Amino acid sequence: MGKSLRVAYGEALVKLGQKNDKIVALDADLAHATMSATFAEAFPDRFFNAGIAECNMMGMAAGFAHTGYIPFASTFALFGSGRAYEIIRNSIAYTNTNVKFGLSHSGLSVGEDGGSHQSIEDVALMREMPNMTVFVPCDPTEMEKAVFAAAEIDGPVYIRVARPVCEDITTEDTPFIPGKANILKDGNDVCIITMGLMVPIALKAAEMLEAEGISAAVVNMHTVKPIDAETILAMNEKCKGIVTAEEHSVIGGLGSAVAEVLAGHAGAKFERVGIQDKFGKSGKPAELFAAYGLTAENIVEKCKATLA
Amino acid sequence: MNYEKKAKELRQEILKSLFACQSGHPGGSLSCVEILMALYYDEMKNLDPKDPKKADRDRLVLSKGHACPTLYAILADLGYFPKEDLAHLRQIDSHLQGHPDCNKTPGVDMNTGSLGQGMSLATGLALAAKHAKADYKVYAVVGDGECQEGIVWEAAMSAAHYKLDNLCVLLDYNGLQIDGTNDQVMGLGNIVEKFKAFGFECFEVDGHNIEEIDKAIEAPVSGKPKFICCHTIKGKGVSFMENQVGWHGRPLKPEEFETAMKELEA
């Protein structure tokens, strides 16, 4: 039985709130979609609705943080990272203010709502800000760890929260160290570096490659910033090719972050699977993943391209 | 305190720091001198220059952050940092940034500069104070042009919704902005009626009369945020700057500086 990452986010917030009375939550009239409502039910006096006003929600969250609270602000990833971008930039990141963002409905997996609601640039927008940490958890267990890790960090943390139900890949015992990637499967020929909902798809691609006699590693880059350059460079030394796979634009996201690390390392063979400079559209998540090439088959093809 | 003498001294300090860096915003800095004097010399409680982050202090969010030379002159006068620092405004390695930075300057409560955000930050501070059952008050000084930003009204709506009677918004209403008068650029309409309609208890004062500002700040309110419309003159105190759009953000020439300093002799 899987669980939606947003449900895991809401439950994790409650657990965190039980341990730390400085945790407060804000939402912009989407509490029942982001699941910050779970926190609101548990701690009604520590939940503040900003109404449909994302910019003001971020400003108010900063105000809370300046008096010693640890606010978690939630809304859809697109409106949080996009509309409120400059509030986050100037009133939170610039000041290294202790605000956490749990922004949900990220990526194409929003599905039927279509391109207006599918955030494919949030990781890019968040990771280019100094002082910002960016987490992209891949399953419910990792989501809880990310929420707790965010509270431990003194500064802004972006947590990308996806909507679909997904199975656990990691376990209670899997370490979650910010900035330290997890090698989920080792391999020698090609390394797939991935995050979020693409992790299980990358694992499937690795299996398909193994069946063809190609040894493929899979790295879960749960922290996109600070990026684990050490692991990327070690895998680049060991493997002939590197392929990134993300439910995000290939411009500015994980693919770009890895490319930035690989740049200057002559001879790196590198391919990116992700949304190729296009907006999303309405459809079922699985249909959209297929239409935009977010598939195990496409990852396999790109891996082979690096080996050619 | 001899307000008139102090105001002249502060205006001199403001112009000296702006003349030294040959940049910055004289007009709007001069228009809010008395507003910030009323707050810092008369109204704000539990301020301690030796402990600028004291938990129970009243807070000021200078939402019109470009007027920070005024804030800096007052903080230096109160002893938060040496007066000599004012000569290094906007210069590399100075703690006095072009717009307020709470991580660099002792006594600055909040970063501002990107217009409108200060209203929202102040609302968050006031809501956090209410939640913590803390007694301190939060003051926001906003510009008139700034009220064209949507976030000002998002914040205003939420301040009334959460009944933030610990929040006091003071408008530096000098009527001018970069591209012209408010009315030429984007008319504010009846700004007092607008704040009233958003649920604020509203007052109107002469923004260069400290007694009037004090009285409005001290007027009791319950269950409502307060809005004080302070009618001011942009460039106040320097004859050739008063009510001149062009003095929003232009450096002073040496002869202009000399004339201005003479006019401001106490």
Distance from C-alpha of B21 to C-alpha of B235, rounded to nearest angstrom: 18
pLDDT tens digits, B21-66: 999 999 999 999 999 999 999 999 999 999 999 999 999 999 999 9
What residue ranges define each of the domains in chain A, with the CATH number in brackets? 3-166 (3.40.50.970), 182-307 (3.40.50.920)
pLDDT tens digits, A167-194: 999 999 999 999 999 999 999 999 999 9
CA torsion angle B95 B98 B100 B104 (round to 10): -20
3-state secondary structure of A79: helix
What residue ranges define each of the domains in chain B, with the CATH number in brackets? 3-263 (3.40.50.970)
Distance from C-alpha of B73 to C-alpha of A198, rounded to nearest angstrom: 55
pLDDT tens digits, A133-172: 999 999 999 999 999 999 999 999 999 999 999 999 999 9
pLDDT tens digits, B209-266: 999 999 999 999 999 999 999 999 999 999 999 999 999 999 999 999 999 999 999 7
Q: Six-digit token pair at A296?
A: 């195990």
Q: Is the pLDDT of residue A2 over 90?
A: no
Query: Which residue in A43, A60, A88 has the most chain B C-beta atoms within 10 A of its own C-beta, making it the best mutation to test that interface?
Result: A60
**Residue B165 phi, psi (nearest 5):** -80, 5
Q: Which helix (H) or strand (E) holds B167?
A: strand B167-173
Asked whether A191 and A216 are in contact (CB, 8 A), the reply is yes
Using an 8 Å CB-CB cutoff, list residues of chain B that contact chain A: 101-103, 109-111, 113-114, 117, 119-129, 131-132, 134, 150-151, 154-155, 157-158, 161-162
Q: Is the pLDDT of residue A215 over 90?
A: yes
Q: Is the pLDDT of residue B138 over 70?
A: yes
> Measured between CA atoms, how close is A19 to chain B, in angstroms?
18
> Measured between CA atoms, how close is B106 to chain A, in angstroms?
14
Which one-letter amino acid corresponds to residue A279?
A: F
ipTM metric = 0.93
Active site residues of A: 54
Q: Six-digit token pair at B266?
A: 């106490």
Distance from C-alpha of B69 to C-alpha of B113, rounded to nearest angstrom: 12
Contacts of A254 (CB under 8 A, 6+ apart): A123, A136, A193, A194, A195, A221, A224, A244, A245, A246, A248, A274
Q: Is the pLDDT of residue A130 over 80?
A: yes
Distance from C-alpha of A241 to C-alpha of A235, rounded to nearest angstrom: 9
Interchain CB distance below 8 Å, A59 and B124: yes
Question: So what's the pLDDT on residue A218?
Answer: 98
Question: So what's the pLDDT on residue A1?
Answer: 67
Interchain CB distance below 8 Å, A62 and B132: no
Distance from C-alpha of A295 to C-alpha of A303, rounded to nearest angstrom: 12
- A101 pLDDT tier (thresholds 50, 70, 90): very high
> Measured between CA atoms, how close is B122 to chain A, in angstroms?
6
Query: Which residue in B127, B133, B161, B169 has the most chain A C-beta atoms within 10 A of its own C-beta, making it the best mutation to test that interface?
Result: B127
- A279 pLDDT tier (thresholds 50, 70, 90): very high
- Contact list in B for residue A66 (CB cut-off 8 A) is 102, 109-110, 121, 124-125, 128
Q: Is the pLDDT of residue B95 over 80?
A: yes
Distance from C-alpha of B232 to C-alpha of B230, rounded to nearest angstrom: 6
> Measured between CA atoms, how close is B154 to chain A, in angstroms?
6
Question: So what's the pLDDT on residue A268?
Answer: 86
| Helix, strand, coil percentages for chain A (3-state, nearest 5) | 45, 20, 35
**Nearest chain A alpha carbon to B125:** A63
Outline where DSSP puts E strands in chain A: 3-4, 23-27, 47-49, 70-76, 100-104, 133-135, 157-160, 165-166, 182-185, 190-194, 216-220, 223-225, 241-249, 269-275
pLDDT tens digits, A34-73: 999 999 999 999 999 999 999 999 999 999 999 999 999 9
* pLDDT > 90 fraction of chain A, expressed in percent and rounded: 97
Asked whether B264 and B15 are in contact (CB, 8 A), the reply is yes
Question: So what's the pLDDT on residue A265?
Answer: 84
- B155 pLDDT tier (thresholds 50, 70, 90): very high
Q: Six-digit token pair at A85?
A: 């971008």
Interchain CB distance below 8 Å, A56 and B125: no
Query: Which residue in A67, A86, A99, A131 has the most chain B C-beta atoms within 10 A of its own C-beta, making it the best mutation to test that interface?
Result: A67
**Nearest chain A alpha carbon to B126:** A63
Interchain CB distance below 8 Å, B127 and A24: no
Distance from C-alpha of A81 to C-alpha of A123, rounded to nearest angstrom: 8
A103 DSSP assignment: E
Q: Which of A50, A66, A91 sits opposite B117 (nearest CB)?
A: A91
Q: What is the mean pLDDT of chain A?
A: 97
